[in-house]
Amino acid sequence: MSVSTSVVSDLAADQLGELHAQLVEQKAFRERQLRQLARVGSQYGERHEEIADALTVAARAALGDVEDALARMRAGGYGRCVACAARLPVARLEVLPQAARCMACQREADLH
């Protein structure tokens, strides 16, 4: 695992390792999902193609979030809000390891 040693001190090495493993697993899942959705294509008709397109958009966004979290981990910014730099609670990262914002900043971002 190539993770910066300057990550938030609230994260113990074993916690960071577990979060990294979860992110890598999520990345692999989303990549498999996108390959499967690409195969669906139009073989099942227009209605299924619309559903596959919507799922593809969501899977790409989720993959982007995971890749961004892995990049923050490598750069040493993982565990801090990208908007206000506050420390993210470990409990939040355990539930949503790709979280980029604290709850307050996420609520604000969701409004816009």
CATH number at residue 101: 1.20.120.910
Q: What's the DSSP call for residue 11? A: S
Q: Is there a domain that residue 8 lies in?
A: no
Is 5 within the bounds of a domain? Answer: no
What is the arithmetic mean of pLDDT over 16-42? 92
Residue 82 counted as domain residue: yes
Under a CB-based contact definition with an 8 Å cutoff, are residues 1 and 20 in contact? yes
Q: What's the domain range around 17?
A: 13-111
**74 within domain boundaries:** yes
Average pLDDT on 46-67 reads 92
Region 78-82: mean pLDDT is 96
2 domain-assigned: no
Any idea how long the chain is? 112
Question: In the chain, how many domains are there?
Answer: 1
The pLDDT of residue 6 is: 47
In a domain, 67, yes or no: yes
| Most distant pair of Cα atoms in the chain: their distance | 52
pLDDT above 50 (res 37): yes
Asked, for residue 3, whether it belongs to a domain, the answer is: no
The answer to the question of residue 4 being in a domain is no
Q: How far apart are the C-alpha atoms of 7 and 79, rounded to whole Å? A: 7
Number of Cβ within 10 Å of residue 95's Cβ equals 9
